[in-house]
Amino acid sequence: MPDTLATLEADRSKLLEDFLHLGDLRPGSITAVVRRCGKPSCHCAKPNDPGHDPQFRLTRKVEGKTVTETFPNPAALRKAQDEINEFHRLQDLSDQLVDINEKICRLRPVERARGGWTEQEKKRLLQSIKRSRVRSINS
């Protein structure tokens, strides 16, 4: 059974409420790095030794540059994991919102207005078309 406009609008309202219940969030991914300290007398310098415990890091992009943050303790790591999970939830909600809105836009009827284009609308549309042609030629 196809969705009705009223059903989709109700779904959108529910989804927008879900945005209000998002907690702390941040982008990034957590990786584990096993390392060796470099001290010749340390156990990690011996052959076949696995090295020290893994060091967990949060990696993310800030203004186009990769930034890495190391966690001082397990509680900070768990907090960051929760924040990243909440960021993924935001992305999922956003995708759902766009999907529902596209369906609403397709179903919503076009309002019929009297007359055609106004002179301002014609002028703006023609200028926009000319600019897009110039961009496509220069590309």
- Per-residue pLDDT, averaged over 39-54, amounts to 82
Give the C-alpha separation, 115 to 39, whole Å.
83
Return the minimum-mean-pLDDT range out of 13-17, 51-55, 71-75, 134-138. Answer: 134-138
State the distance between the two ends of the chain, measured CA to CA, in whole angstroms: 45
Residue 74 has pLDDT above 70, yes or no: yes
CB 10 within 8 A of CB 103: no
Question: Which pTM value belongs to this model?
Answer: 0.69
> Using CB atoms within 10 A of its CB, is residue 87 exposed (0-12), middle (13-18) or buried (19+)?
middle
Q: What is the pLDDT of residue 111?
A: 76
